[in-house]
Amino acid sequence: MKLGTEGYSPAIVAKIEYAGANHGSFAQASRSLGRLAEMSISAMHVQRITERLGRERAQERDRQVEQFQAGECQPAYGQAPAVAAVHVDAGKAQCRQEQCGPGVHGRHWSDDKVACLVTYAPNPTPGQDPRPEPPKAFLDRPAVLRLCQEIRQVRGDPTTAATAPRPTRVPEIPPPKADGPKVLVRTAVATMQPVEAFGWMVAAEAMRRGFYEAAVRAVLGDGGNWIVPLAHMHFDGWIQVLDFIHLLTHLYAAATAAYRGRPPQAWACYRQWLRWAWTGGTKDLMASMNEQADRLGPAPAGASDDDPRRIVALTCRYLADNAERMDYPAYRRAGLPVTSAAVESLIKQFNQRLKGTEKFWLRGGAEAVLQSRAAYLSDDGRAEDFFARRPRGPAVGQNRRRLVA
């Protein structure tokens, strides 16, 4: 059975980590292991083993970063991808203060930075726009409202953008899709560390996957003020794409603010702005937005976040800051996605494990679980390959000498 000093076979250790990283809590993982693997293991012991393996995965990640910084990191594959994109965004997790004894002390929200590295099949009709017309869902009012509210929920409770529409009861409908290029392989990078360290992690993973040699390379983000510097530092010369769905939410919020209390006019304005954005009419879009800002006038000092003048002015600034990242017809012709739905979906999957009203993490524990979760959310088999090269470690927790079949 190749039992190590942990007292468990590698196969059992892998099951424990999988349960700890993918169930909603360590207690759920403990119950699942009892039912499905017929092993008795406490939630605390599941936590110890999962976090320990997560720390080992983090050490491997950090060694890869060191090799990349030293110029010693090489692509793991012989053939470079045709189309490669790095999607980056941030989620939220509740943390608590360290070394304060039992209970939850100093609860606060912290960012977890996430990158989704995806390869795509090339455009089957090179030079042609595979989707010249916007998806119908982007022009359907209930679908648009639901999408805007969903973006608010994914981005976290305490940092809701001023431009996001307020919650409203809408029909249950499938989320809209932009029918982008075919996804081939996805891998994930996630950390609680600052943006600077995160950037090096993402760059090292991109090098390992051969992204720097891809024929078409892009970075996608929501226009956050930390994403553009990260892209310039680590992915200089790559195409930068503003996530179209985040742009859509800003346009919808600005249109409803500009014509507050007049839904038909607001919807007509949004539809025109949306079409200009999708078809590359950035200049027309910005001119129309500036006209609305001039019509409303400047917001007075101390204006509330939901003041229409403030919302439209913020959207004007958002467009001006991101205009060079809004050539969506060119991106589609190159075989690139125009939305960062890949990383939004990935953040939801991380949130299923990390977020919850009753979950308050120590940063070290959250970082470890993120690494295990990222491994199992990657398509390249890294979760399983880790155990093939992992040496047997020292014992963990109580009853560690008891062998489990």
Q: What is the mean pLDDT of residues 120-141?
A: 94
By three-state DSSP, how is residue 70 classified? coil
- Cβ(269)–Cβ(251) below 8 Å: no
* Distance (Å, whole) CA 65 – CA 142: 45
Q: Would 58 be classed as within a structural domain?
A: yes
Predicted confidence at residue 393, as pLDDT, reads: 57
Radius of gyration of the chain (CA): 23
Q: Compare 391 and 353 and report the one with higher pLDDT.
A: 353
Q: Compare 180 and 65 and report the one with higher pLDDT.
A: 65
Range name among 152-161, 197-206, 209-218, 280-289 with the lowest pLDDT average: 152-161
Q: Cβ neighbours of residue 146 under 8 Å, at least 6 residues apart?
A: 170, 171, 173, 175
Are 1 and 62 within one domain? yes
Q: Would 204 be classed as within a structural domain?
A: no
What is the pLDDT confidence band of residue 191, given thresholds at 50, 70 and 90? very high
Are 258 and 316 within one domain? yes
The residue to which tokens 């996630």 are assigned: 190
Which of 307, 333, 359 is at the close of a domain? 333
Q: Would 224 be classed as within a structural domain?
A: no
Classify residue 149 by burial, with Cβ atoms within 10 Å: 0-12, 13-18, 19+. middle
Which residue type occupies 194? Answer: P
Q: What is the mean pLDDT of residues 46-75?
A: 96
In 145-297 the beta strands, taken as DSSP E runs, fall at 183-191, 216-221, 239-242
Predicted confidence at residue 172, as pLDDT, reads: 40
| Total residues belonging to the chain | 405
Q: Would 326 be classed as within a structural domain?
A: yes
pLDDT exceeds cutoff 60 at 173: no
Q: Rounded to a whole number, what is the distance in angstroms from the first to the last CA of the chain?
A: 8
Quote the crossing angle between the two packed helices 341-354 and 141-155, to the nearest 10°: 50
In 121-263 the beta strands, taken as DSSP E runs, fall at 183-191, 216-221, 239-242
pLDDT exceeds cutoff 60 at 176: no
Tokens coding 265: 């006019």
Give the domain range for residue 385: 1-73+380-399
Predicted confidence at residue 167, as pLDDT, reads: 40
What is the pLDDT confidence band of residue 166, given thresholds at 50, 70 and 90? very low
Predicted confidence at residue 150, as pLDDT, reads: 79
Write out pLDDT tens, residues 245-294.
Answer: 999 999 999 999 999 999 999 999 999 999 999 999 999 999 999 999 99
Q: Cβ neighbours of residue 253 under 8 Å, at least 6 residues apart?
A: 148, 163, 164, 165, 311, 315
Mean residue pLDDT across the chain: 88
The residue to which tokens 């600034």 are assigned: 317
Predicted confidence at residue 394, as pLDDT, reads: 53
- Cβ(285)–Cβ(181) below 8 Å: no
Are 255 and 329 within one domain? yes
In degrees, rounded to 5, the angle at the alpha carbon of residue 80 between the alpha carbons of residues 370 and 327 is 80
Question: Among 277, 292, 343, which Cα is nearest to 90's?
Answer: 343
Q: Would 239 be classed as within a structural domain?
A: no
Q: Would 237 be classed as within a structural domain?
A: no
Q: Would 39 be classed as within a structural domain?
A: yes
By three-state DSSP, how is residue 89 classified? strand
- Cβ(177)–Cβ(337) below 8 Å: no
Tokens coding 390: 């992992």
Are 248 and 324 within one domain? yes
**How many domains does the chain divide into?**
2
- pTM for the model: 0.86
pLDDT exceeds cutoff 60 at 404: no
Q: Would 95 be classed as within a structural domain?
A: no
- Cβ(102)–Cβ(360) below 8 Å: no
Which of 333, 364, 391 is at the close of a domain? 333
Q: Measured between alpha carbons, how far is residue 277 from residues 2, 87, 273, 282, 285 in Å?
A: 59, 20, 6, 6, 7
Question: Among 161, 377, 365, 380, which Cα is nearest to 253's?
Answer: 161
pLDDT exceeds cutoff 60 at 403: no
Predicted confidence at residue 392, as pLDDT, reads: 66
H helix or E strand, kind and range, residue 56 = helix 43-69
Cα–chain-centroid distance for residue 70?
Answer: 28
- b (16+ CB within 10 A) / e for 318-339: bbeebeebbbbeebbbbbbbbb
Q: Compare 284 and 358 and report the one with higher pLDDT.
A: 284
Are 254 and 328 within one domain? yes
Which of 310, 333, 356 is at the close of a domain? 333
